[in-house]
Chain A
Amino acid sequence: MGKGETLSWERSNGVVEVELHREPCNEIGSATLVDLEQFAAVLDELERECHALIIHSRQNAGFCAGADLRELYQRSQGMEKEAALRGVREFLERIHRVMNRIDASSLTTIAAVDGVVFGGGLELALVCDLIIADKMARFCFPELRLGLVPGFGGIPRLKRDLGNAVIRDLLLTGRSFNATKAQQVGLVSQVVAEGEVLRVARETAAQLGKFDQRTAVAAKKFIKPIPYEELRREVDLFCELFVQPAVMAGLKKFVESADAQPYLP
Chain B
Amino acid sequence: MPWQTFAASAIGKYHIDNNIPCQDDFAFRVVGDVLIGVVCDGAGSSAHSEIGAKECSRSVLDSIEMNLGEGESTRLETVCGRDNLEGAVDVARNRLQSMADEKGFAFKDLSCTLVGCIASSRGGCFFHIGDGFCIAEFDGQTPIVSLPENGEYANETYFVTATDWAARLRITPLPEARYGRVALMSDGAAPFVVSRERTGFFGPFIDPVASYLSGVTQEDGNKALGDTLADERTYAITGDDKTLLIALLK
Is the A/B pair a real complex? no
Question: What is the interface of chain B, defined by CB distance below 8 A to chain A?
Answer: none
Question: What is the interface of chain A, defined by CB distance below 8 A to chain B?
Answer: none
